[in-house]
Chains A and B, each alone.
Chain A
Amino acid sequence: MTGSDAATAVPAQATRTPAAPEPVLHGLGVSVRPVDTLAKAQGTFPYAADLWAEGLLWASVLRSPYPHARIVRIDTSEATSMPGVRAVVTHEDVPGDAMHGRRVADRPVFAKDIVRHHGEPIAAVAADHPDTARLAAAAILVEYEVLEPVTDPEKAFAAEPLHPDGNLIRHIPLRFGDPDVIGDVIVEGLYRIGRQDPAPIGAEAGLAVPRPDGGVELYVASTDPHTDRDLAAACFGLEADRVKVVVTGVPGAMGDREDSGIQLPLGLLALKTGCPVKFVATREESFLGHSHRHPTLLRYRHHADAEGRLVKVEAQVLLDAGAYADHSSEALAAAVAFAAGPYVVPHVFVEGWAVRTNNPPSGHVRGEGALQVCAGYEGQMDKLAAKLGLDPAELRMRNVMATGDLLPTGQTVTCPAPVGELLKAVRDADLPPLPVDEEESQWLLPGGPEGAGEPGAVRRGVGYALGMVHMLGAEGTDEVSTATVRIHDGRATVICAAVETGQGFTTLARQIVQDVLGVEDVGVLAADTDQPPSGAAARGRHTWVSGGAVERAAKMVRTQLLQPLAAKFGMSVELLTIADGKITSYDGVLSTTVGEALEGKELWATAQCRPHPTDRLDDTGQGDAFVGLAFCAVRAVVDVDIELGSVRVVEMAVAQDVGRVLNPRQVAARIEAGVTQGVGLALMEDLRAPRGIIKRPNLTGYSLPTALDAPDVRIVKLVEERDVLAPFGAKAVSAVPVVVSPAAVAAAVRAATGRPVSRLPIRPQAAVVKPQS
């Protein structure tokens, strides 16, 4: 990083003089800067909430105040007759399929006879002013017969069905090995994981514009435009080609972003009024509407031999799916398959259930399923280490999985699995220094600056956690992406429907094309549904399949470009290289520029990338369900005030299995973001919904980590063992640090306090050491 060093060396007064230009970086493996960072920093980047259309109307959605109620009557007459109100839509105005859902169509666009969660949409209004819309929505009379909500997932089994599909969304009884084996040492534990909200900072918003042909265009910050398009078209009763989803600037996405509760009412209102309709969700609506992380109850029994080698793991996993199925089935598959963690266990028995309740809906928030069980099995490993008198890192080291081992699903781990190497890297990394006794260290006490922390009551703890996630969709999901690369006038354009959510896909696409075609200037077009589908932006999909498609298309263009030259000079294409816009032959005879070689022509190529197919887990939880796995080891160092129970995470040391670093800066940023999200879940993020009602759906009630809560994230090692299946050998990097960090923080608090810490987020009372009396 000579550029930044040079910049810091310049004295402050001299900053006005133009600094030496930073060397322009391009290609794979270097820190190419995203193109949109300046616009985002300056506030000129257009997000969905910034959209405008001439003559637009404003939408407002009426949501259920109850978690479970029967709708006796809906009277929209007063709202309809209000001046300025242009349309009111309820379940009666849905021309197409009444039910929708990303995996299972079990969710109504608007509640019809029954509401199943607090905040479920009942009606929507379009008016010429946002306040009119809001007031009109409030004026819709809904008569409810309030029903007893089912909010305890354990009671959902025996409760009256909340939905025609029943309360059990999925049950996986995984059987692997011999059920009668018993270990020398047995530890048991019960673990609870709270409800994390993805809390995207940007407002959830959208604009629907009717088309003259009777179709509609939806301008939304979708992360999966084609699925959303199909879903919307089915509900609108239109052919898919008459609905177009255009992806606008996405202000952060930790999972599925805009819940379809925004897109569908918008489209219906636009179709009914014939006018553009805009909607911007308030923070309260965001918390009520979108999907959360599954609250989970885990029960574990680990058997080990006297040396600490795992013999058998028995587990029960209960996911609270909320009112609708959404991604719960897939989350459960991950939870069950990874219930024993990245360890070699000969006998594994897991009962997994995802059940329906009247709690806020759960869905795809990165690392779903894998995160919850990680907190459970790592808690068990700490317990086992304590019982055997072993160092927790040593116990883990004796059990780590490697390439060639079996998952409890019977699938062989064929990808690189450097789990032992990762653990060794974090274990051997230097510990952060202890705070010295001086004024400045006051800031570093638990409780923060101006807090009540007292050095005498602070204990430091070090904890380890290992974890894994699967990459790409599991269980037979068709993962395919299509990309087109075009080269003209010495510059290249990439057309691909992979959504840039901030994860860096556009930067990666530029890097790939720069590498293959040797041109500096690469543009990436915004995604919409006129392009072929690329799938959702999740689980490293776009690095893998979309990146792979871009690479193939670029290579096809390269062949088209070089073929005539190679033929002219009587050599094969392989003997020509392109770099910095110049084409040269191995012997230096040929030297021309890309622009000259094009001769004013335009070259196009389109390619697809589709990884090998996977199977659905069978009725004993067996099957090759995953395309690839990514691993991570985290060592957390925490300071705990053992009297007040306040926790400060001092440092998170991360070693991660990344396959190959395609962009060092982005990889570091993704890991830092993931660790911070994980620390948030470990210490504060829990959207409480007593009796199914979200009491404080705002950012005052729901704490997110601030700069003071965020730990130092130290990346001690990135293991670059290329995954031969993946394009470029690169693995997904975003999800796995989120999965492992909460378990690591819990382990460190355990080490500091000696308390069991079986609940996330860790509440202060769980980190207090009771006085001996």
Chain B
Amino acid sequence: MTQRYLILADGSAYPGKAFGSLATTTGELVANSTMNGYQEIISNQIYHNQIIVFTQSSIGNTGLDQNAYESVLPSAKGVIVREYENLATDHFKRISLDRYLKQHRIPGIYDVDTREIRHRLQKYGNMMASIVDVADDHAFDQLHATVLTNQQVAQVATPKPYPNPDEGDNVVVVDFGLKSGILRELSRRNCNVTVVPWNSTSEMILDLDPDGIVLSTGPGAPSNLPESVLKMITEIQSQAPLFAIGLGHELFALANQAKVSKLRVEHHGANHPIREIITNEIFFSGQEQGYAVDPKSIDHAKLFITHVDLVNGTVQGLRHRDFPAFSVQFSPDGAPGPKDSVDLFDDFMEIMERRRDENGSRY
């Protein structure tokens, strides 16, 4: 067992034992407190350029499941955990966590006080960190000198469109770093999906005759994306039902002149109650959030808030006043996390259906 280090921008160094790849990496350190679904978390593209600290003390217990990947090529920069199990057991064919991380060149460190790190992040806010062999001045210099790319979406999203055919509604998914959970839910509803690149124009999208459009989740700051993306959104939102999730939600807000700001502490977990304002109902969902829509910046003539996080008060859902367009900050697909709000996909289906009825049957 090789000893390696997690070093933080504030100068602290955590010795631990290595697993997975032995690569040296740098990224933003974020804590995730979801108790299940380490596989879904690690393979989510939202963690591009991030090192994930699991607060759950032990991960790896069930190996990796062919049906639970959120992307084919994960892009997380590291995994920090108190204890990991190198198991490949149970009723599906699975590989072990260690092997998976090695395959994808993701380094891991275990045997560190993740609870202490969690406390540190809560106290001092988001922080850059590296996984290194030696915690010397050189390593810290490298860490301080590293500038992470702001082309994250371009690095993880598909460069070419591809279809996921079925016999139901035509849905175009704009990929900003799509998590498979969204496709899975659309598949369950027999949608005939076309996934298109993040930089597709509105013309390209609308030429596919969508019954509905999904703006996907993805990594990084929404402000990193060019103005053309916002333009595309304003052009499509009036033409077809729109459902935006995660980064998609943030872009939807920006396209409608709201502001988005970075959270002092990123929130990754499934423990915050989310209130649906109209029904006053509380539910839970996976949240992986580094940015939030500023509620004061919302133009109420255009958008209204549908969901709010009861703990940090962040906007969790928006709806357009004039168009059948709505968005959520959280992950209603429940991969991982509760499935309390999975019926938002049914709402989307219903909106598409209503829209079709209004416009006269296409068939």
Genuine A/B complex: no
Contact surface of A with B, Cβ cutoff 8 Å: none
